[in-house]
Amino acid sequence: MKIVLEDCIEYRNELGQLHREDGPAIKWNERDVSYTFNGTTHNLTKGAREYWVNGQLFRIEYANGSKAYYNGTHLHRLDGPALEYAWCPEHNRYYIDGKQVPSF
pLDDT the model gives residue 101 = 94
Q: What is the pLDDT of residues 71-99, one digit of tens each?
A: 988 999 999 999 998 888 888 999 999 99
Q: What is the pLDDT of residues 25-74, one digit of tens each?
A: 777 665 666 666 666 665 555 567 778 887 788 888 887 788 999 998 89
Full domain range(s) for residue 59: 2-101
Domain count, the chain: 1
Residue 36 CA from chain centroid, whole number: 8
Evaluate the CA torsion angle 93, 48, 72, 69 in order and state its sign.
Answer: negative
Kindly report the pTM of this predicted structure: 0.59
Q: What is the pLDDT of residues 21-35, one digit of tens each?
A: 777 777 766 566 666
Distance between CA 34 and CA 61 in Å, rounded?
A: 11
